[in-house]
Structure 1
Amino acid sequence: MKNFSSFLIILLLACTFQAKSQEKLIDRVVATVGSGIILQSDIDMQYTQYLGNGGTPTDDFKCTALQQLIMTKLLSQQAAIDSIEVTEAQVDDQLNARMREMTRRAGTKERLEGFLKRSLLQYKEEMRPILTEQMKADAFQRTIVDKITITPQEVKQYFENLNQDSLPYFDTEVEIGEVVMYPELTKEEKSVFREKAEGFRKQVLDGTDFGTVARFYSEDPGSSMAGGELGFAPRENYVKEFSAMAFKLKAGEISPVFETEYGFHFLQVLERRGEEVNARHVLVTTKPTQASLDRLKGKIDSIYQKVVDKKIPFSTAATIHSDNKETKFNGGMVVNQNRSTLIPVNGLEKEVFMAIDTLQPGGITKPYQFQNPRDGKVGYKFTYLKTRIPPHKASLEQDFAKIQEAAQEDKTRRKLSEWFEKKTKGTFVHINPEYQSCPELQMWLKEDNIAATKE
């Protein structure tokens, strides 16, 4: 049975600019799945996307693409049987998010339309049925996957069934904590950035297009290339100052300049839909002055000294003083995406690796300046090395969390494979002879279909 794990991540649609750029396709049916069909143009679209993402030209990809499209059809058809629906609003949100990302990559809407050789409105309508089907398939797949749990005994059995001579070898891992602090600007220091935002707002009030101002001047990398547009979102998606402003304005209104933790903004509400709002904004981020950095250095040096002198525990210093909301209530301990505190050293930021490289477990670095790679903010922090685990072959005792994750993925793959195998027995699947030699597609081929093709 071929590996179905690739389907666990639904293919990103429309993430390259040349997808479906052909003026006209001579189309044909390459597979029939129940009451649905898959066209050659569907595969070509996936292939163009693959090449646009830097993939190496290969006919093998088209076999994989067809396999994924067949699975999507089967899942979406079962979703229809089980009355699983996605709303127009959900599809709109996904479409708008994807279009914003495409626009950001292209630089401008006009340039993107040039790549697509069609208007964005036309392209969105072409994508709507495809995305709707994938969202329904994804929704039904979750009804299978979300019920899958794994016990410690199953984890142990999974590990014992692995080839013990070829167990994975894990690099050095560490447990680290950090106290992160950012400078606080005085009112006078902030005034420069507020006045800059006021100047951009005045341009809009004087008649300059809001989207143009956002594209040229907004310092929000996630929305500036889309003219500042953020798409529909509920109030909890934003910091409180932003939502308070966005949800009190009427459509078309432009807000005064206001401050959040990110800097100074002004926004315009484009549309309100129930408890969601689509707004666009211009952001001017605040930058630390040398004086503010000097003040911060003195403050964090004092906190560091108290920790080193054991006047306060590291965890208390993090909870009280750290500005990192992701770690401060965890005693300052850093966790990975699986919520484990064990971090491979090759996954650390370079400056953190350099800072802890010579430390012994239990040691603390002196405060050092850093720049947050996600938002560019500059601050100071000091890092605590709790544990260092040398390179080692996987063991149940040291690596239970990782083995548990692998066992969960294995069980999920097997459950999905079982579902597809059972579903295929009761569903008509016919594949064009051109694709019948694909190894990935052998499980979908039925002897009567092959015989009918040969006749």
Structure 2
Amino acid sequence: MQLKLKNLKFINNKPAIALLILFFLSISISAQDTLIIDETSNIDAQVDSVKIDTVQTQKRFKVDGVIGVVGDYIVLESDIDKTYLELQQQSISIDEISRCELLGKLLEDKLYAHHAIQDSIVVSEAEINSRLDQQIDYMISQLGSEEKVFQYYRKNSMAELRRELFEINKANQLAAMMQEKVYENVEVTPEEVRTFFHNIPKEDLPVFGTELEVAQIVIEPELTAEAKQRVIDELNEHRRDVVENGSSFTTKVVLYSDEPGAASRGGLISLNRNSPFVKEFKDVAFALREGEVSEPFETEFGFHIVYVEKVRGQERDVRHVLKIPRVNEATIQKAREKIDNLREKIVNGELSFAEAARSESDEKETRNNGGQLVNPVTSDTRFELTKMEPSLSAQVYNLKDGEVSPVYVDEDRTGRKRFKILTVTNRFEEHQADFSKDYEKIKELALNEKRIKAIEDWQEAKINETYVNISEDYSHCNFASNWLQK
């Protein structure tokens, strides 16, 4: 099981992100399980179904007792129970996971966070607040109101809930950034890849599932100049009402913005130059002074006006109204006829799929590559069939090589309809790893092994120079790392 826990760090080529998703950053699960279990009676009730293993099972646990200290951080007994519940919520079997192993994992996280602070790693409060907004929006969508949310999590106010969530997210982000720093310069040479592969016994060589290469053509209904002008005129009217008549910008957001979830927070966003927002949005936001409202401007999401509520050094709090132009039925029908015609030409052999994609597809990201999709996880063109995103899998699962799919109705990120057709351009059947055919995958496995070794070496060194104290109740644990400093 120790190996299983270590390998969680390197899922999907995004090690730190995978760790956060698994243990902390699931919007609907992590925040809930971390916060809901803060009364002894509740833990006792919920942990009945959680395995209590070899750690002094004959006596009742001190639920909120400190069982570990790493630098400036503590681990509570209840933290283990919360993690068990998180794993259960994600349908991960806990039958073979002991409390000792989970404690070791929690201690690792605290070690990363502690040394991130020591190394002066700084997390962006704006990014954390943005993530918090997403979490809280999701909670409100599930429970119905802010009041129901903080009551559900047994907090006295939304402000109290936000403070606790903020600290959880901050510690997680520090740990992730520290871990990334440890292995950011780890690389493997071709010779190391070769050695790694040839050291695997033949019977233990990995088996790679069936993979597909997929291309698509996307046709979007034309967004007319009249439709764009309508939302620009509407935004100008809202702006005049705020600037000239003193109307509330927040009220404009709540009543008129097309952004999902905007009403719950009045369109408030905290951002800095490194925040994950499109360039056009940040350029406008940082060109305004405090209290100013922008002219309407366009991004890939639609048209906006932005109000700068507060400037705080390199960060600022802004609110914005988003309006998405709508297409009419005539343009939708025209787009459908166009893709039907394209599909017919491809099927009849008058035009190749790649040629049609390059000349006609409205999807900029794939058009120049003949419609070829890129796997966002691996950054190559292969998609493992069993791990493919469900909606894509459903569209290509039964396609034969070279066959063109029916026309599918899809939606872009703004909710506008679009039409697409797909084809399988290449297929790689399930097979045992082959060095020449699967070099990139084998390289990634070799790199992951080297990263694990780097993490282990770093942990061993840092544990020895960090204040660590483990409760006597866990002194018998056989940790993968030297937490007992024997």
Using structure 1 for the length normalisation, give the TM-score.
0.78
Secondary structure at 1:113 match in 2:
helix
**What residue is the counterpart of 1:84 in the other structure?**
120
**What residue is the counterpart of 2:130 in the other structure?**
97
Structure 1 residue 148 corresponds to structure 2 residue 186: yes
Distance in 2 of aligned mates of 1:324 and 1:225: 32
Structure 1 residue 12 corresponds to structure 2 residue 24: yes
1:19-418 equivalences in 2 (<5 Å):
19-21=34-36, 27-33=64-70, 37-40=74-77, 42-43=79-80, 46=83, 60=97, 62-81=99-118, 83-86=119-122, 90=124, 92-107=125-140, 108-116=145-153, 117-126=155-164, 131-189=169-227, 211=250, 214=253, 218-221=257-260, 223-234=262-273, 237-239=276-278, 242-243=281-282, 245-255=284-294, 257-273=296-312, 276-300=315-339, 315=354, 317-336=356-375, 337-346=377-386, 347=388, 350=391, 354=395, 357-360=398-401, 363=402, 365=404, 368-372=407-411, 375-418=414-457
Preserved CA contact (<8 Å) 1:16 1:49: no
Secondary structure at 1:86 match in 2:
coil
Shift of 1:264: 3.9
Secondary structure at 2:364 match in 1:
coil
Shift of 1:397: 2.8
Give the AA of the match of 2:371: G
Distance in 2 of aligned mates of 1:165 and 1:36: 44
Secondary structure at 1:4 match in 2:
helix
2:468 is aligned, of 429, 435, 438, to 429
Shift of 1:371: 0.6
Stretches of structure 2 lacking an aligned partner (at least 5 in a row): 10-15, 41-62
Distance 1:446 1:161, change over 3 A: same
Distance 1:36 1:288, change over 3 A: closer
Distance in 2 of aligned mates of 1:210 and 1:48: 42
How big is each residue's C-alpha offset from its partner over 1:348-370, in whole Å with a ceiling of 9 and x where there is no partner? 5556754684443xx36277242
How big is each residue's C-alpha offset from its partner over 1:204-234, in whole Å with a ceiling of 9 and x where there is no partner? 8888865566456643336554432333143
Preserved CA contact (<8 Å) 2:405 2:423: no
Distance in 2 of aligned mates of 1:143 and 1:355: 39
Distance in 2 of aligned mates of 1:236 and 1:128: 17
**What residue is the counterpart of 1:452 in the other structure?**
none
Stretches of structure 1 lacking an aligned partner (at least 5 in a row): 448-455
Distance in 1 of aligned mates of 2:7 and 2:129: 27
Preserved CA contact (<8 Å) 2:112 2:178: yes
CA RMSD in angstroms, aligned pairs only:
4.2
Distance 1:51 1:283, change over 3 A: farther
Distance in 2 of aligned mates of 1:238 and 1:126: 25
Deviates more, 1:366-375 or 1:159-168: 366-375
Preserved CA contact (<8 Å) 2:147 2:158: no
Preserved CA contact (<8 Å) 2:69 2:467: yes
Distance in 2 of aligned mates of 1:84 and 1:130: 18
Distance in 2 of aligned mates of 1:344 and 1:323: 26
Distance in 2 of aligned mates of 1:342 and 1:20: 40
Give the AA of the match of 2:418: G
Distance in 2 of aligned mates of 1:35 and 1:269: 37
Distance in 1 of aligned mates of 2:73 and 2:227: 63
Secondary structure at 1:327 match in 2:
helix
Give the AA of the match of 1:29: V
Distance in 2 of aligned mates of 1:402 and 1:158: 12
Preserved CA contact (<8 Å) 1:200 1:213: yes
Shift of 1:271: 2.7
Preserved CA contact (<8 Å) 2:127 2:275: no
Distance in 2 of aligned mates of 1:27 and 1:355: 51
Preserved CA contact (<8 Å) 1:356 1:365: no
Distance in 2 of aligned mates of 1:439 and 1:327: 51
Preserved CA contact (<8 Å) 1:235 1:243: no
Distance in 1 of aligned mates of 2:304 and 2:191: 53
Shift of 1:420: 1.8
Distance in 1 of aligned mates of 2:393 and 2:32: 37
Preserved CA contact (<8 Å) 1:436 1:442: no
Distance 1:262 1:392, change over 3 A: same
Secondary structure at 1:155 match in 2:
helix
Deviates more, 1:21-30 or 1:113-122: 21-30
Secondary structure at 1:100 match in 2:
helix
Distance 1:207 1:68, change over 3 A: farther
Shift of 1:148: 0.8
Preserved CA contact (<8 Å) 1:235 1:275: no
How big is each residue's C-alpha offset from its partner over 1:138-197, in whole Å with a ceiling of 9 and x where there is no partner? 333223211111122222322333342244433322212222221113234556666776
Using structure 2 for the length normalisation, give the TM-score.
0.73
How big is each residue's C-alpha offset from its partner over 1:103-155, in whole Å with a ceiling of 9 and x where there is no partner? 11221433333234133433444455655554444333223211111122222
Distance 1:152 1:253, change over 3 A: same
Distance 1:183 1:309, change over 3 A: same
Distance 1:6 1:424, change over 3 A: same
